[in-house]
Amino acid sequence: MSKIKVIQGGVTAPVGFKASGVSCGIKISGKKDVAVIFSEAPATTSAVFTTNKMAAAPVHFSRRNTRNGTCQAIVTNSGNANACTGPKGQEDAMTMIEKTAEALNIHSQDVIVASTGIIGVPLPINEIKKGIVKAVSLLSEDGHTDAAEAIMTTDTYSKEIAVQFEFRGKTVTIGGMAKGSGMIAPKMATMLAFLTTDINICRTCLNTILSEVVDKSFNMITVDGETSTNDMVAILANGKVGNEKLILGDDDCGIFQETLNYVATKLAKMIVRDGEGITKFIEINVKGAKTDEDAKKTAMGIASSNLVKTAFFGEDANWGRVISAVGHSGAEIDSGTIDIYFEDAQIVKDSAAASFDEKEVDEILKKDEIKLVVDLNIGDKQAKVWTCDLSYDYVKINASYRT
């Protein structure tokens, strides 16, 4: 793997990108709520969208605009999802695209639009239009954090990263930002994530790589098992670094893919660490599965179990909940071969209680970050999933989210 250097910045770290984030009044708090990301040159584009059949208006337009594989700008608002808003919502999503294109003097087909927030409430489109004009006027290479803050909803902090690596004699940069705290599940990850890079890459290669990266990062996290109406991951690659174009099948495709996966995984983990009401970050490593799919099914079955998540919140070594989740995950298992570990402490051997030090396990469960290992012992495939506990505060936050 190429050496990855983490640098300061976010989506504006790659050559030729600017961003901004402003407040237009969607949020009563007055916090930033409109963001624009702009590439100085048309960029090879790929995106993955929510699997929710009630997908919001912005998702439909962004699916259309990314179909030809080239875009130049992303506009997004927080505080209002523009979901389940009927024909007016469709009109408002298109207005956001057209206003952004007009302000940037680019074609409307080259704009991705995204929204996040309350479902079923019409957008204050006149205020958003003013916000877009203001955001475009403030576009800057230093605007990455403002943009990252402007896409937050219940997030407690902005999430961004930038890295560099050497590729074909050039220093390539990848930047990223994401939002997500609740409604996070492994079906297109239920959040917004925007990635930028100055690598020169063909569309087919970028589509293939992004799809595989999403499956290993954003699709391997869960906070509450809910899949939202608005989620997307989009990447713009403007080729500004000037490398020889990367095409599918090139021997060094893996270098870019591994680096992009590093960025996406870091952002995905940030989302889980900011899960609503979180007190513990939990890594679940399932080993010894017959197939990759069985490993993922098992890990996700455990991570999605509310009983497992509440046990971690209560710092209770209730391994029965874990093994029960394994059993109903849908994966192929042998009911007599399962081993379970909390960190290095084995608590289950061959699907039955092992002798372990209660005090040692109690100390492990008090940690902010915990590793759970489940070995099925019937194969050599494995999968890692990242999740969090389920606390009283999660209920408080979501009981009053609309009000």
Q: Which of 271, 302, 337 is the last residue of a domain?
A: 271
Contacts of 100-104 with CB under 8 Å at 24 or more apart are: 100/36, 100/73, 100/75, 100/132, 100/136, 101/73, 103/132, 103/133, 103/136, 103/137, 104/38, 104/72, 104/73, 104/136
The answer to whether residue 272 scores a pLDDT higher than 70 is yes
Q: For strands 159-167 and 5-7, give the pairing.
A: antiparallel
Do 246 and 286 lie in one domain? The reply is no
Mean pLDDT of 346-365: 94
Do 252 and 372 lie in one domain? The reply is no
Q: Bin 57: left if φ > 0, else alpha if -120 < ψ < 50, else beta.
A: alpha
pTM here is 0.89
Main-chain phi, psi angles of 259, to 5 degrees: -70, -40
- Rounded to whole angstroms, the Cα distance separating 380 from 382 reads 7
Q: For residues 311 and 1, which has the higher predicted lDDT (pLDDT)?
A: 311
Q: Please, are residues 235 and 212 in contact by the beta-carbon 8 Å criterion? A: no
Tell me if 344 is assigned to some domain. yes
- Rounded to whole angstroms, the Cα distance separating 290 from 377 reads 9
Tell me if 263 is assigned to some domain. yes
Tell me if 298 is assigned to some domain. yes
DSSP helix/strand/coil, 129? helix
pLDDT in tens, 162-208: 999 999 999 999 999 999 764 444 343 347 999 999 999 999 999 99
The answer to whether residue 82 scores a pLDDT higher than 90 is yes
- Domain containing residue 233: CATH number: 3.60.70.12
Q: Nearest to residue 290, comparing CAs of 331, 339, 349, 324?
A: 331
Q: Tokens for 3?
A: 């050496």
Residues recognised as catalytic: 190
Q: Nearest to residue 257, comparing CAs of 144, 162, 165?
A: 165
Q: Tokens for 351?
A: 């699907």
Do 307 and 361 lie in one domain? The reply is yes
Query: What are the residues facing 115 on neighbouring strands?
Result: 77
Tell me if 276 is assigned to some domain. no
Tell me if 241 is assigned to some domain. yes
Do 189 and 328 lie in one domain? The reply is no
Q: Please, are residues 104 and 38 in contact by the beta-carbon 8 Å criterion? A: yes
Which region among 133-137, 241-245, 306-310, 349-353 has the lowest average model confidence (pLDDT)? Answer: 306-310
State percent of the chain over pLDDT 70: 93
Q: Which domain holds residue 378?
A: 281-399
pLDDT in tens, 88-104: 999 999 999 999 999 99
- Domain containing residue 395: CATH number: 3.10.20.340
Tell me if 231 is assigned to some domain. yes
Do 9 and 53 lie in one domain? The reply is yes
Mean pLDDT of 57-62: 96
Q: For residues 175 and 399, which has the higher predicted lDDT (pLDDT)?
A: 175
pLDDT in tens, 110-162: 999 999 988 899 999 999 999 999 999 999 999 999 999 999 987 889 999 99
Query: What are the residues facing 4 on neighbouring strands?
Result: none
Do 244 and 294 lie in one domain? The reply is no
Number of structural domains found in the chain: 2
Q: Which of 250, 271, 292 is the last residue of a domain?
A: 271
Do 231 and 266 lie in one domain? The reply is yes
The answer to whether residue 366 scores a pLDDT higher than 70 is yes
Q: Please tell me the number of Cα atoms within 13 Å of 92 on its side-chain side.
A: 25
Do 73 and 196 lie in one domain? The reply is yes
Q: Nearest to residue 78, comparing CAs of 20, 136, 123?
A: 123
Distance (Å) of CA 270 to CA 160, 275, 334: 9, 9, 34
Which region among 83-92, 271-280, 324-333 has the lowest average model confidence (pLDDT)? Answer: 271-280
Do 157 and 243 lie in one domain? The reply is yes
Residue owning tokens 């915990």: 370
The answer to whether residue 70 scores a pLDDT higher than 70 is yes
Q: Which of 229, 246, 271 is the last residue of a domain?
A: 271
Tell me if 321 is assigned to some domain. yes
Do 220 and 347 lie in one domain? The reply is no
Confidence of residue 398 (pLDDT cuts 50, 70, 90): low
Tell me if 29 is assigned to some domain. yes
Do 243 and 291 lie in one domain? The reply is no
Do 287 and 267 lie in one domain? The reply is no
243-257 burial: b if 16+ Cβ within 10 Å, else e = beebeeebeebebbb
